[in-house]
């Protein structure tokens, strides 16, 4: 069973098409990246998955069923814009928001203690939300998102505004959830985070899918016919190389199209060059993102 | 506010009782008024309540006494009095008109002296106080009605209508502010990931309705207790205060329906308002209607049969407060009450229906407040 199944979904506001015939699925136990520039339609897509917005056409299935009360309680959502009741104490906030997910007070308190302990936030339990920093509030909201043990967790820009320590903490908790078999959808602008955490991605632009699939496979599609080499010794003229680009700490060798990376490696070894690093030049997700989004802008 | 009102009532009774025990009642100040009797025969009945009348032989003597501040004023009984009833009064004070107490004392003095010796004393007393109208309200069977009307009957409904108007304003503003803050902090998205827009709105409206119910029950339970206490402590007017028979039943209905209507309106306004401040400004438009019956309450007492009150009793936003107020002034025909409650109920359903749609469309829209045309267009297209 897929955790999320979005099929040919369309959503318009006034005369603007925010999401245009979008289809994708997210498997259980998968960390899925939803990326795209500002205004691409990510949040609208998430809101349709949450049943906050109704699609004009198309279908959304969550945990094998159309959105309903059961699905709602199996789902955790951390929205991009974050806010809590400022005058409420942390524990009361957690209890109230968890009770909306059908949890009873006693189990919320026990789970809240556990999660506050895990995040090192036990000392703020009785503090008011307004007494905490933005980052701390964000951790509390993350706790609220996962406290009811959801099967599907949707995180919209979870790392924005977090310091490196809390970013690492959140990443670890996301991976923990994934290891527990939960499905996670991560919508983020920081491509390095997506690249580091996600198995598959969907890149949207202007409401349409630009890239969709396995991250490694997508990256291999964008692989250039070049290798990155860090070495010791004299390189000289190497046959099969059409060009060279010098970078700090390594050199990028562009193959001529007839020579394979394997043949190049053999040649280098036979010349007695000490090789510290030899890898296929694969673009980062950020480069792919810029390339795809830039192409659409043109 | 729910508990504050009964506590304040209790405190007020306690404070008045304490103060009256400490402070002795003030002595009634006696005033002396001079008069000159040029006709003769006006020499009896010179004590008229707190006013003592002192006779002077001539007008010059009276003027001299006034200038020496022996008397603040005097009047002259001369020939025109017997034919035209004219009395000349002289004073050094600038006044709009003769103080009613002075005027009444002079009138009683003159009447008593004119009739003295000609008719029995009982007749003189009757001429001075010819009417003490005692009205008794009978039921359709001819029996004496338990509810006799009057100001004693108006007090409790009057206070309740005022409290209801204030509460409706307070809670409408509170709800709009709460929703505005949830929108501003974007907490609304977290809530909507747990409950549907319908559940969220109905929950908020019912929550406010229950708050209204609790409030009115607390007040209605405490009102008779306080009245009994006030009546046994002070007596007088307080012992005449009655709570109209159907007031408790209708009070609960109108309180709850009023809260539900204002909550549903506030939910819609809260949804379209980009922030709490703008929402509160917008809520003034309908909150004001809760006050309207109070503005015209004195007219209601003077003209209780006017059709305007029927309109205000049926118009949903004025109905709760107007109906409460009218219950204290006069009877409301059963058909009017039934129509009012049905219209109020239907309005709540209608407003709730529209508010749910507006809620769904605008709750996640931030920024500029939409115009009425845009709202209607979006509701139709939803």
ipTM value: 0.77
- B219, with CB counted inside 10 A (0-12, 13-18, 19+), is buried
Tell how strand A57-62 and strand A2-13 pair up.
antiparallel
Identify the band that residue A279 occupies on the pLDDT scale cut at 50, 70 and 90. Answer: confident
> In A, residues 40-79, which contact B (CB 8 Å cutoff)?
47, 50-53, 72-73, 75-77, 79
Instruction: Write the DSSP assignment of B32-66 as a string of letters.
Output: EEEEEESSS---S--EETTEEEEEESSHHHHHHHH
The pLDDT, as a whole number, for residue A237 is 81
Nearest-angstrom CA–CA distance, B230 and B222: 12
Is the four-CA dihedral B299, B300, B303, B307 of positive or negative sign? positive
B187 interfacial to chain A (CB closer than 8 Å): yes
A97 vs B185: CB contact, 8 Å cut-off? no
Q: How many other β-carbons are positioned within 10 Å of the β-carbon of residue A252?
A: 15
Bin B9: left if φ > 0, else alpha if -120 < ψ < 50, else beta: alpha
Provide the CA B348 distance to its chain's centre, in angstroms.
Answer: 27
What DSSP letter does each residue of B319-353 carry, written as one string? HHHHHHHHHHHS---HHHHHHHHHHHHHHHHHHHH
Compute, in degrees rounded to 10, the torsion defined by CA atoms A90, A94, A96, A99: -170
Give the span between the Cα atoms of A183 and A152, in whole angstroms. 5
Task: Tell me which chain B residues have a C-beta less than 8 angstroms from the C-beta of A84.
Answer: 185, 187
Which residues between 115 and 174 in chain A have a beta carbon less than 8 angstroms from any beta carbon of chain B?
141, 144
Are A81 and B364 in contact (CB < 8 Å)?
Answer: no
Which tokens sit at A152? 């599907």
Contacts with A79 from chain B: Cβ below 8 Å: 186, 189-190, 193
CA B220 from centroid of its chain's CA atoms: 17
DSSP label of B92: S
Per-residue pLDDT of chain B (382 residues; tens, 9 = 90+): 677 777 887 788 788 777 877 777 667 788 899 999 998 889 899 999 899 999 999 999 999 999 999 999 999 999 888 888 899 999 998 888 899 999 999 999 999 999 988 899 889 888 888 888 888 878 888 888 776 666 667 777 888 888 888 888 888 888 888 888 888 777 888 888 888 888 888 888 888 778 877 887 888 788 778 777 777 776 666 666 666 667 788 888 888 899 889 988 998 888 888 777 888 888 888 888 989 999 998 888 888 888 999 999 999 999 999 998 888 888 888 999 999 999 999 999 999 888 888 877 776 666 666 777 777 777 666 6
Is B184 an interface residue toward A (CB < 8 Å)?
yes
| Surface of B (284-303) touching A: CB under 8 A | none
A29 bridge partner residues:
none
Any long-range contacts for B373-379 (C-beta under 8 Å, 24+ apart)?
A: B375/B272, B379/B354
What are the tens digits of pLDDT across the range B77-136? 998 888 888 999 999 988 888 999 999 999 999 999 999 888 998 898 888 888 888 888
Q: What is the DSSP letter of A89?
A: B
Q: What is the DSSP letter of B26?
A: P
């Amino acid at each position: 069973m897929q955790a999320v199944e979005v099929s040919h979904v369309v959503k318009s506001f006034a005369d603007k098409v925010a999401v245009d015939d979008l289809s994708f699925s997210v498997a259980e136990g998968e960390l899925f990246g939803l990326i795209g520039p500002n205004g691409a339609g990510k949040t609208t897509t998430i809101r349709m998955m949450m049943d906050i917005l109704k699609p004009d056409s198309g279908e959304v299935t969550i945990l094998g069923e159309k959105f309903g009360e059961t699905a709602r309680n199996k789902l955790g959502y951390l929205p991009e814009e974050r806010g809590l009741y400022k005058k409420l104490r942390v524990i009361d906030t957690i209890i109230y928001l968890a009770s909306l997910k059908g949890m009873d007070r006693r189990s919320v308190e026990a789970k809240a203690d556990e999660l506050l302990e895990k995040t090192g936030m036990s000392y703020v339990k009785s503090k008011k939300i307004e007494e905490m920093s933005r980052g701390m509030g964000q951790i509390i909201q993350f706790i609220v998102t996962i406290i009811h043990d959801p099967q599907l967790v949707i995180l919209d820009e979870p790392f924005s505004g977090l310091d490196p320590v809390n970013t690492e903490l959140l990443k670890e908790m996301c991976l923990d959830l994934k290891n527990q078999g939960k499905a996670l959808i991560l919508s983020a602008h920081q491509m390095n985070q997506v690249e580091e955490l996600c198995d598959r991605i969907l890149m949207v632009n202007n409401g349409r899918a630009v890239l969709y699939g396995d991250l490694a496979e997508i990256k291999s599609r964008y692989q250039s016919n070049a290798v990155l080499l860090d070495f010791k010794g004299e390189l000289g003229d190497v046959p099969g190389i059409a060009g060279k680009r010098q970078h700090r700490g390594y050199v990028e060798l562009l193959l001529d199209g007839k020579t394979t990376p394997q043949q190049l490696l053999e040649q280098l070894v036979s010349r007695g060059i000490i090789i510290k690093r030899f890898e296929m030049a694969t673009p980062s997700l950020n480069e792919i993102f810029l390339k795809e989004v830039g192409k659409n802008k043109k | 506010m729910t508990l504050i009102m009964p506590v304040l009532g209790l405190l007020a009774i306690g404070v008045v009782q304490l103060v009256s025990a400490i402070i002795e009642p003030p002595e009634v100040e006696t005033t002396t008024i001079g008069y000159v009797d040029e006709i003769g025969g006006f020499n009896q009945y010179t004590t008229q309540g707190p006013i003592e009348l002192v006779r002077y032989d001539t007008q010059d003597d009276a003027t001299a006494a006034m200038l020496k501040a022996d008397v603040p004023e005097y009047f002259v009984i001369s020939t025109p009095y017997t034919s035209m009833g004219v009395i000349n009064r002289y004073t050094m004070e600038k006044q709009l008109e003769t103080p009613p107490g002075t005027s009444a004392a002079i009138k009683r003095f003159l009447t008593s002296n004119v009739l003295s010796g000609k008719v029995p004393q009982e007749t003189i007393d009757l001429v001075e106080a010819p009417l003490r109208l005692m009205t008794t309200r009978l039921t359709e069977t001819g029996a004496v009605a338990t509810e006799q009307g009057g100001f004693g009957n108006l007090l409790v409904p009057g206070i309740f209508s005022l409290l209801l108007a204030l509460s409706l304003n307070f809670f409408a503003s509170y709800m709009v502010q709460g929703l505005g803050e949830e929108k501003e902090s974007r907490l609304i998205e977290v809530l909507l990931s747990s409950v549907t827009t319908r559940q969220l709105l109905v929950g908020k409206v019912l929550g406010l309705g229950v708050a209204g119910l609790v409030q009115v029950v607390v007040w209605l339970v405490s009102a008779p207790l306080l009245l009994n206490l006030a009546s046994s402590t002070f007596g007088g007017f307080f012992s005449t205060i009655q709570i109209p028979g159907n007031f408790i039943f209708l009070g609960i209905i109108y309180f709850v329906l009023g809260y539900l209507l204002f909550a549903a309106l506030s939910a819609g306004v809260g949804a379209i308002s980009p922030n709490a401040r703008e929402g509160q400004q917008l809520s003034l438009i309908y909150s004001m209607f809760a006050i309207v019956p109070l503005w015209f309450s004195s007219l209601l007492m003077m003209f209780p049969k006017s059709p305007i009150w029927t309109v205000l009793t049926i118009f949903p936003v004025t109905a709760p407060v107007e109906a409460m107020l009218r219950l204290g002034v006069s009877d409301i025909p059963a058909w009017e009450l039934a129509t009012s409650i049905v219209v109020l109920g239907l309005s709540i359903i209608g407003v709730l229906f529209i508010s749910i749609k507006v809620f769904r469309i605008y709750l996640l829209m931030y920024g500029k407040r939409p115009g009425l045309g845009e709202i209607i267009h979006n509701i139709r297209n939803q």
